[in-house]
A and B are shown apart, each in its own frame.
Chain A
Amino acid sequence: MNKKLMLGNEAVARGLYEAGCRVVSSYPGTPSTEMTEFAALYKEMSCEWAPNEKVAMETAAGASIAGARSFCAMKHVGLNVAADPLFTVSYTGVNAGMVIAVADDPGMHSSQNEQDSRHYAKASKIMMLEPSDSEECLRFTKLAYELSEQFDTPVIVRVTTRVAHSRSSVPMTERIEAPLRPYEKNPGKYVMMPGMAKVRHVVVEERIQKQIAWAETAPINTVEYNSTKIGVITSGISYQYAREALGTNASYLKLGCVYPLPVEVIQDFAAKCEKVYVLEELDPFIEEHCRQHGIAVIGKEAFTLQGEYSQSLIAKVILGTAATSLETDLQIPARPPVLCAGCPHRGLYYALSKLKVMVSGDIGCYTLGALPPLAMMDTCICMGASISALHGRNKANPENASRSVAVIGDSTFIHSGVTSLINVAYNQTNSTVIVLDNSITGMTGHQQNPTTGKTITGDPTTAVSLEKLCEAIGIRRVRVVDPYQLAETERVIREELAAEEPSVIISRRPCALLKYVKHNPPLTVNQEKCVGCKMCMKIGCPAISMKDGKSQIDFTQCVGCGVCQQLCKPNAIEEGK
């Protein structure tokens, strides 16, 4: 059999392909993004980046009702955005199979919270599978389509960062086409208004009972008996940690289906083991199920609600063993992520720092502007909140309007900033909104979006005009600046802060990492002219550092953007060759 080392996310994409999935619609979000990127490499599936997760899930639902196997992927916080359709597609069920992938991020490698999406499965009464490696990502994704059609329900596949972003060996098979199922008009099933939904709710509750019966004998809920002194009930990546830490010193009940959970299987397993642990990251989801059914387990009281589990944590708690490690007595400075050399956001933030404004921030690369030395962000809540929170701030005290701005990226603006801007225009605050248009969705690794004029496959398509969109919303003052031009950028922001009406500034310059962006030769510091004033250090460029009291520029990083040159009074920063 053909085997390949695949990311968990890549294996999910392969699973879609092999299962005959036809329609894929997602919004990027670490750690889920590669599922859709890899899916787009298969010509047999129609794949797209949607403006947000809600649109993506509704697209997948529509495709399923139309008879095509469909898919949407998102990160955990994206599922919040898509929660509205989620709870109701549970009632409508499917025509062809519909699979929803959600990627949780315990430890918050790249997220603003570490919510546990398993609660969504329970709350929306939708079955949830959880793979623990890439091979299972493929196999469980295919199984999810079968279960979706068998039980007439969407099925969620949940991964966590370590599964999504780990590579392991995956056996591949051929695609089996799933022809379009005929669509039949059925308002009782697909039109969810009270009269119909009441009937469907009964169906949903019956469905869950059938799924519990299935879970009692499901082949993806596996038992491995070794020593029965220790029993471990677990799922997903925690199984891998436990198996490595405890080996054959423990027995394992690995739950491939985390909602709904079986009862008898767990009772039987627990009865055979002397001491039973539940090993699961984040919330006590399986643990509470056990307790509800009177099964004595050790869970969060011995472990943690925060961050990731690991083999050493499990070994320490259960076996009391700890590894020794090599140490130096060096003071090692932290290395936080930074805006890249040449990042267009840097000039914009520098201009804001000179104006000493309050900044209502948003989610993206530009959130890094919150860190020193720029440190130009006051709040960051969720996608789109920059504009709505600024509006609220200015409603709370209209005097704030002349000394505060919102910053939001192009993709985030389309995702959920547009409705917030409509609120600014409709309910009139003199808010100043800055759209950081770097022509790409940056933080998640360069995905196209509705403003870039390209689809997920790079094909040309229509592009949203941010200027015209803002005008149509009712914003009369729309300005465009180049954030590499510091004085001009500062002047325009100053004017818009003073304006007695809502305004939008589009700070436009493509991401310096985009392949088509041409770089200038690296700049150099004339060591004779440099007076060591450190003005160039104020912008927090990773290519600039001080050595022996003088500034120096790292040629491997500098892209010659020239922002630092504008700050250098003695003109010591010179063009490279």
Chain B
Amino acid sequence: MSVKSIMIVGVGGQGTLLASRLLGSALLSQGYDVKVSEVHGMSQRGGSVVTYVKYGDKVFSPIIEKGEADLILSFEQLEAARWLPYLKKEGHIIVNTQQIDPMPVITGAAVYPEGVLEAIEQAGAAVVPVDALGLAVEAGSPKAVNVVLIGVMAQKMELSKETWLKAVEENVPPKFLELNKKAFHLGYSHC
């Protein structure tokens, strides 16, 4: 099959790396050639972070560029708008409705734009808004935002629910497994 491209974007510290790791291992278990490109180091400290996941028969470049992503999973509204140009026309963008002010907004040098979701929709993307923070708190911890969002994304993909749950088991510490399973289910049954 031709290569599919998924981007996971958010704010450093939100757990985007675990989400991409989980997605990568779920895809590998299905026999795809997979490449996952991550961001480490300085930009992790509260900056805008992006992870690329590509899979298919054979993947060469590990990165995704403008107009190439089939799906974007955004952990934050502003980041969804920032990375929108990377989405293909008619691509899906799942957006956690949480808003996190970047430092230029905090200092008053810039303003957080209004109507982000509407603007993304108007640009031609299929938006799936989700209150992932609310669902994560419901699951038992605000830190489970990442696994809630994985659950939402799982609905949009062809892999079986069992494959996803196995990936969750393999990638989270046993201590937090029940919490994360619950978070996954809340995301998966979100509509």
Which bucket holds chain A's interface residue count? 35 or more
Does B155 interact with chain A (Cβ within 8 Å)? no
Assess whether A333 is in contact with B45, with CB atoms less than 8 Å apart: no
The contact of A326 among B78, B84, B105, by CB within 8 Å, is: B84
Contact B41 A30 (CB under 8 A): yes
Complex Cα distance A544/B106, Å? Answer: 7
Tell me if A372 is interfacial: C-beta within 8 Å of chain B.
yes
Q: Is the CB of B46 within 8 A of A337?
A: yes
Q: In the complex, what residues of B have CB within 8 A of residue A365's CB?
A: 45
Asked if B128 CB lies within 8 Å of chain A CBs, one says no
B19 at the interface (CB under 8 A from A): no
* Residue from the set B42, B65, B116, B123 with the largest chain A CB neighbour count within 10 Å: B42
Kindly state whether residue B89 has any CB partner on chain A within 8 Å.
yes
Looking at the complex, which one of A34, A323, A540 makes contact with B68 (CB distance below 8 Å)? Answer: A323
Q: Does B43 contact A (CB under 8 A)?
A: yes
Residues of A within 8 A of B28 (CB): 3, 5, 169
Query: What is the interface of chain A mostly: helix, strand, loop, or mixed?
Result: loop
**A213 in the interface (beta carbon within 8 A):** no
CB contact under 8 A between A329 and B119, given known A168-B35, A241-B61, A335-B103: yes
Minimum CB–CB distance for A254 against chain B, Å: 12
Chain A residues positioned under 8 Å from B18 (CB to CB): none
The reply to whether B107 and A373 contact each other, CB–CB distance below 8 Å, is: yes
**Residues A323 and B45 in contact, CB atoms below 8 Å apart:** no
Per the 8 Å Cβ criterion, residues 251-295 of A in contact with B are none
Tell whether, in the assembled complex, residue B100 and residue A330 are in contact, meaning their CB atoms are under 8 Å apart. Answer: no
A323 to B48 alpha-carbon distance, docked (Å): 23
What 0/1 pattern do residues 101 to 122 of B give for CB contact below 8 A with A?
1111111111111001001101
User: What residues on A are CB-neighbors of B40 within 8 Å?
Assistant: 30-31, 33-34, 109-110, 165, 445
CA distance A237 to B63 in the complex (A): 10
Known A554-B100, A556-B142; contact A336-B34, beta-carbon cutoff 8 A: no
Q: Is A368 an interface residue (CB 8 A)?
A: yes
Given A5-B28, A167-B24, A167-B34, the answer on whether A326 and B124 have CB atoms closer than 8 Å is yes
A325 and B67 form a contact (CB under 8 A): yes
In the complex, per-residue mask of B77-111: 1 if CB is within 8 Å of any chain A CB, else 0: 01101101111010000000000111111111111
How far is B66's CA from A499's CA once the two chains are assembled, in angstroms? 57
Question: Which residues of chain B have C-beta atoms less than 8 A from A310's C-beta?
Answer: 61, 63, 65
Most B-side CB within 10 Å, residue of A167, A324, A336, A540: A167
Q: A162-B63, A323-B65 are in contact. Are A337 and B85 (CB under 8 A)?
A: no
In the assembled complex, the Cα of A34 lies from the Cα of B66 at a distance in Å of 29
Sort chain B's interface into a size bin.
35 or more
Chain A residues with CB under 8 Å of B33's CB are 168-169
Q: CB-CB < 8 A to B12: which residues of A?
A: 337
Whether A540 and B65, one on each chain, are in contact in the complex, defined by CB atoms closer than 8 angstroms, is no
Closest to A364 in B: B42
The answer to whether A371 and B103 touch across the interface, beta carbons within 8 angstroms, is: yes
Please report the C-alpha to C-alpha distance between residue A458 and residue B68 in the assembled complex, in whole angstroms: 43
B135 interface contact, C-beta 8 A:
no
How far is A531 from B111 in the complex, measured between Cα atoms in Å?
Answer: 21
A340 CB–B CB distance under 8 Å: yes
Contact digits for A534-560, partner B, Cβ 8 Å, 1 yes 0 no:
100100101011100000001111000
Measured between C-beta atoms, what is the minimum distance from A162 to chain B in Å?
6
Q: Tell me which residues across on chain A come within 8 A of B113, comparing CB atoms.
A: 330-333
CB distance from A63 to the nearest CB of B (A): 28
Question: Which residues on the A side are within 8 Å of B87 (C-beta)?
Answer: 325-326
Tell whether, in the assembled complex, residue B39 and residue A165 are in contact, meaning their CB atoms are under 8 Å apart.
yes
Q: Out of A31, A327, A336, name the residue touching B41 (CB < 8 Å).
A: A31
Given contacts A166-B36, A327-B123, A328-B122, contact A540 B46 (CB under 8 A): no
Q: Are A328 and B60 in contact (CB under 8 A)?
A: no
Q: Which of B21-77 contact A (CB under 8 A)?
A: 21, 24-25, 28, 33-48, 59-63, 65-68
Distance A110 CA – B12 CA, assembled complex (angstroms): 14
Q: Cα distance A46–B105 when bound, in Å? A: 48
Which residues on the B side are within 8 Å of A555 (C-beta)? Answer: 142
**Does A334 interact with chain B (Cβ within 8 Å)?**
yes
Question: Which of A237, A336, A556 is within 8 Å of B103, CB to CB?
Answer: A336
Q: What chain A residues lie within 8 Å of B11 (beta carbons)?
A: 335
| Inter-chain contacts of B142 with A (CB < 8 A) | 555-556
Across the interface, which residues of B come within 8 angstroms of A371, CB to CB? 103
Which partner residue on chain B sits nearest A241 by CB separation?
B61
The answer to whether A240 touches B60, judged by C-beta atoms less than 8 angstroms apart, is yes
Q: Could you list 20 further interchain pairs (A-B, Cβ under 8 angstroms) beyond the known A5-B36, A335-B46, A372-B104?
A: A133-B35, A162-B37, A167-B24, A168-B34, A244-B60, A323-B67, A325-B67, A328-B84, A328-B123, A333-B111, A335-B48, A335-B104, A337-B45, A365-B45, A373-B107, A443-B41, A540-B103, A540-B107, A544-B106, A557-B13
Residues of A within 8 A of B (CB): 3, 5, 7, 30-31, 33-34, 109-110, 133, 162, 165-169, 237, 240-241, 243-245, 310-312, 323-340, 365, 368, 371-373, 443-445, 534, 537, 540, 542, 544-546, 554-557
Going nearest first, the 6 A-B pairs with the smallest beta carbon separation are A110-B41, A30-B41, A323-B67, A337-B47, A333-B110, A335-B102
Jot down 21 A-B pairs with beta carbons below 8 A, ordered by A.
Answer: A5-B36, A110-B41, A166-B37, A167-B35, A244-B60, A310-B61, A312-B65, A323-B66, A325-B86, A328-B81, A329-B119, A331-B111, A333-B78, A334-B48, A334-B102, A335-B78, A339-B45, A372-B103, A372-B109, A373-B107, A443-B45
